[in-house]
Structure 1
Amino acid sequence: MRFCIPTIFAAAIAITLPVQADLRLQDAVAEAIHSDHWARSNNFQEQALRSQALASGQLPDPKLRLALANLPTDTFDFDQENMTQLQVGLSQQFPRGDSLKIRQQQLGQQADKGPIQRRLRAAKLKQQVSNRWLKLHALQEQLMLLENNRHLFQELVDISRANFRSGKARRFEVIDAELQITRLNDRITRMQQQDAVLRGQLNRWLPQAMSAESLPISLPEIKPLLALDNVSALQSAVQSHPQLQLLAQDVEIRQRGIELADQAYRPGFRLDTSYGLRDDMPNGRDRADFFSVALTFDLPLFPEKRQDAKRNAAVQQREAAREDRLLSLREYEAELHQAISNYRGLQQRLAIYNQDYLRQLREKRIAAIRSYAAADGRFSDVAAAAMGELETKLMKVQLEHQQAQMITNMNYWLAGADPLLMANEGEVNP
């Protein structure tokens, strides 16, 4: 029991103690997409457009006309004159051709852009949050690396002081060794300041308590969405990018504009009906009531400067939308190929770092320290070797995170094949 009771007591304390949560990359991205106020606003705008589309497909409200016609001004008697009547009229305007239906379709297509716009927004959020998170993780890892290598520079201070006491070194070498520690502390302070700035930038998308959490120690594995040697799949994914889908939707909307302009060549008309109530004659003889109906047409007899010009403008707008989509497609493909080239270049550089480069620098630093401790080397060589090894380690961390950022950027251009965005398309939280 002497062994079991303390063990159980320690386990109970461990259970009650709060566990420091880590801000994982996938959690940060999911939270940013989940709590995006822009997506909610976009959803309201989509619903507004759908309501406008429903309203635009309806006929205009009929107009009711009430009139007292031909009332004599000498007596103002309703039964004095034959033409005096109480008129009730109803008129209805009918737009040209299928213009109502086409306008409703056009607004419906604009509303259909809403889910695509939210998917594009989610793709941008994923890219931006991931890049900020990776920069923050690189800083955190580099700060840990500086702290863990502080003992190397402290060792230089100790060796230089020992050599100074034994007459093997001069005073400026001790000062130079102490300056290395000061520079290290200054660098750590500057990086901590950058850490605070990056966390402040994450507050744009994440709650402050969440962005203040520490990050996992290890860098998560980030993979390209598609195999980089599958050219056809890459092209298909780029063509399915949400931004290009929006541009394709704009082409369709412009096409509806041409169809709407075509309806201007067809006549519109208005139907007017009226009923005139007449009173009996003073002698009691009955007067017949009047009923009238009229059909009014507007005829496009001279279309050259109105209908033709509007249709030509609609055609030019559609062609401009097509060219915009083709231009964006070419730019996106170029951006993807550039990102792939940079990614492969980083792979080659990291292969050099992961082979013998760091081991050789470590051996060089150890040899330089031993020579200086034996008064057989220069302090500048020792400081250069120690700083060179540290800078190389920091550069390796930077390259690893740049590679992850490059994959994140590639995945943005391949957003058309991202299952995370497919799952979130059209989903808006209340």
Structure 2
Amino acid sequence: MFNFNLGMIFTCLTQAHSRTCYLQRAWLGMLILLVGAPSFATTLSLQEAQQLALNQDIYFQGSKLEEAAYQYDSDAADRWDNPTITTTLQSVPTDGFSLNQEPMTQLKLGIRQAMPRGDSASISRTIAIEQAQKEPVKRAARRAWLLREVSMDWLAWYQAEQTVVLLREETQSIVQLLEMVESSYRSGVGGTQQQDIIQLRLERLRLEDTLLQEQQAASVALAQLSRWFDFSSEVSFTVPETLNHHDIYPFNASFARQVERRDLLNIIDAHPSVQLLAKDEIVATQKLSLAKEQTKPMWAFEAAYGYRQDAQNGISQADFVSVGVQVDLPLFSSKRQDANVSASAARLGATSTQRRLEVRRLAALAEASETQLVSLLARQQLFDTALIAQSERLAESALNAYMADKGAFDDVMRARISHISAKLDALALHVDIAKNLAELAYLYYPLIKEQPKDTHRSAIGLNRGSNIDTHTITAIGAQQ
């Protein structure tokens, strides 16, 4: 087995083409050939899984193409329609079809240019620009969502793998206890009975069955995680031995309770999902302006030159020049135009309402997550300070009493089951806290999107222009 740094190797395997990456690939290939192994194991941390998912998510490429398309649309929207050129041979006499027989016969060449309605061209260009500017916000929203989803899947895999580790340790302990009880039974020391041995063997079989189920759950969890990125079939992944909550959530656990409600709303208002709705609101405002421009008249200008041949008697006939202006009158379409304006105004109101609802929803989720986190941390403290230690002492005490022929074997089994259950509950609690922090990291994405090393300095920089009090940010940084 070999351990590698995914941060360098997988980036090179997936997209990079630098000289360093070529060397990494060559080194990796030579190493596999030298050891002759079909696969190697590597530790996949949460940060590496997130980075792999971000690097291989094709949504970002599609979003950039969509942004480029809107930029081209903006260039095309602020252009006039092509002029219209007409050629007409008019007033030709039908009795002889001679072009110089009658004085009104002429060859007419005309050009017509229609103008946009009011400022509709400029507004259409603004709409396309705003649509293009939505794409970076969409990518930010996608990034925040993707980090949360990958975190949840990775944590589910971590819990399953760590559960397997705990069950293997407990199985080994059961095997050692079984050997001890069998030895005591064979030597006739104490009150060991054959049913105690059978009960231990049955417990070992149950643990092995549970272990197989958890191994299956770990494989399913890894498969679920792998949907976010591709990797070679020659690579097998293992989870880190420890999980650092600070890597998921760089602030202290009670961050939201250190800011006022108004400040929390300002933070949530900067969230990409809210900013996306704010962009939709700007687009809806421009579409309302565009609908109002459609009620204005559309003008067109035209000019024509009429060429006439000389008359049959040789007299020269003057050519004609014509100029004209056209304007349409919204006599029959006024109701339709008014209806379009009303519809655009209603959509603007609906978009504004959606943005306010999204702010309230995310703020409520943040407060609920903070409240839940307080309870989870209190439970974790209980497990760390008392419950795990007490259950371990109970298991040791029950075993010692049994070996001294002062206790029942059922007490030993109940104590061991209680102890492993406490350890599994502690693991589940540890993961639940991490999931809660991943949710908070998503909700407070505007503050942690840069993954700051210095929370105090970065929080101030990321919130310039907001209404978050300086003393609040200082208090946050002081408690890190």
Q: Say if 1:237 and 1:416, in contact at 8 Å, map to a contact too.
A: yes
| Match in the other structure for 1:22 | 43
| Match in the other structure for 1:69 | 90
Question: CA deviation digits over 1:231-266, x for unaligned, max 9?
Answer: 245332211000110111111111112212222332
The alignment partner of 2:103 has SS state of: coil
Which stretch shifts more, 409-418 or 257-266?
Answer: 257-266
| Match in the other structure for 1:284 | 314
The yes-or-no answer on 1:156 pairing with 2:173 is: no
Q: Say if 2:106 and 2:307, in contact at 8 Å, map to a contact too.
A: yes
CA distance in 1, matches of 2:413, 2:176: 11
Give 1:20 deviation, angstroms: 4.9
Alignment of 1:159-174 (within 5 A): 159-162=180-183, 164-165=185-186, 166=188, 168-174=191-197
Alignment of 1:287-366 (within 5 A): 287-301=317-331, 305-366=335-396
CA distance in 2, matches of 1:313, 1:281: 61
Q: Say if 1:123 and 1:421, in contact at 8 Å, map to a contact too.
A: no
| Match in the other structure for 1:85 | 106
Selected match of 1:221 from 245, 254, 259: 245
CA distance in 2, matches of 1:332, 1:343: 16
CA distance in 2, matches of 1:120, 1:419: 11
Give 1:332 deviation, angstroms: 0.6
Alignment of 1:186-265 (within 5 A): 186-209=209-232, 212-222=236-246, 224-226=249-251, 227-232=255-260, 233-265=263-295
Q: Say if 2:50 and 2:151, in contact at 8 Å, map to a contact too.
A: yes
The yes-or-no answer on 1:42 pairing with 2:63 is: yes
Give the TM-score of the pair, scaled to structure 1.
Answer: 0.88
Q: Structure 1 regions of 5+ residues with no counterpart?
A: 1-12, 424-430
CA distance in 1, matches of 2:403, 2:183: 9
Give 1:63 deviation, angstroms: 0.9
Give 1:364 deviation, angstroms: 0.9
Q: Say if 1:22 and 1:213, in contact at 8 Å, map to a contact too.
A: yes
The alignment partner of 2:243 has SS state of: coil
Question: CA deviation digits over 1:63-117, x for unaligned, max 9?
Answer: 1112222233443332222222222111111122111111111121111100000
Which stretch shifts more, 346-355 or 166-175?
Answer: 166-175
CA distance in 1, matches of 2:258, 2:119: 46
The yes-or-no answer on 1:105 pairing with 2:135 is: no
Give 1:163 deviation, angstroms: 5.2
Q: Structure 2 regions of 5+ residues with no counterpart?
A: 1-30, 453-457, 459-480
Give 1:142 deviation, angstroms: 1.9
Give 1:48 deviation, angstroms: 0.6
CA distance in 2, matches of 1:198, 1:286: 95
CA distance in 1, matches of 2:361, 2:411: 49
Give 1:421 deviation, angstroms: 8.0
Which stretch shifts more, 409-418 or 346-355?
Answer: 409-418
Q: Say if 1:346 and 1:399, in contact at 8 Å, map to a contact too.
A: yes
The yes-or-no answer on 1:52 pairing with 2:80 is: no
Give 1:38 deviation, angstroms: 0.6
The yes-or-no answer on 1:396 pairing with 2:420 is: no
CA distance in 2, matches of 1:360, 1:173: 24
Corresponding letter in the other structure for 2:148: Q
CA distance in 2, matches of 1:358, 1:285: 120
Greater length-normalized contact order (CA 8 Å, ≥ 6 residues apart): 1
CA distance in 2, matches of 1:318, 1:221: 42
CA distance in 1, matches of 2:402, 2:174: 14
Corresponding letter in the other structure for 2:205: T
| Match in the other structure for 2:24 | none
Q: Say if 1:138 and 1:401, in contact at 8 Å, map to a contact too.
A: yes
Q: Say if 2:171 and 2:208, in contact at 8 Å, map to a contact too.
A: no
Corresponding letter in the other structure for 1:187: T
| Match in the other structure for 1:6 | none
Q: Say if 1:234 and 1:414, in contact at 8 Å, map to a contact too.
A: no
Selected match of 1:183 from 198, 206, 216: 206
Q: RMSD over aligned Cα, in angstroms?
A: 2.4
Q: Say if 1:91 and 1:272, in contact at 8 Å, map to a contact too.
A: yes
Q: Say if 1:224 and 1:410, in contact at 8 Å, map to a contact too.
A: yes
Alignment of 1:407-426 (within 5 A): 407-420=437-450
CA distance in 1, matches of 2:393, 2:337: 83
The alignment partner of 2:323 has SS state of: strand
CA distance in 2, matches of 1:302, 1:276: 35
Q: Say if 1:109 and 1:253, in contact at 8 Å, map to a contact too.
A: yes
Give 1:312 deviation, angstroms: 2.0
CA distance in 2, matches of 1:212, 1:343: 33
The alignment partner of 1:306 has SS state of: helix
Corresponding letter in the other structure for 2:195: F
CA distance in 2, matches of 1:78, 1:337: 88
| Match in the other structure for 2:164 | 143
| Match in the other structure for 2:12 | none
**Number of matched pairs:** 409
Question: CA deviation digits over 1:193-243, x for unaligned, max 9?
Answer: 111112112222222239842222111333535533322453322110001
Give 1:359 deviation, angstroms: 1.5
Give 1:304 deviation, angstroms: 5.8
Question: CA deviation digits over 1:287-311, x for unaligned, max 9?
Answer: 1112222211112357762333222
Question: CA deviation digits over 1:343-401, x for unaligned, max 9?
Answer: 11110001001112212111111121122223332222111111110111111111111
Corresponding letter in the other structure for 1:221: H
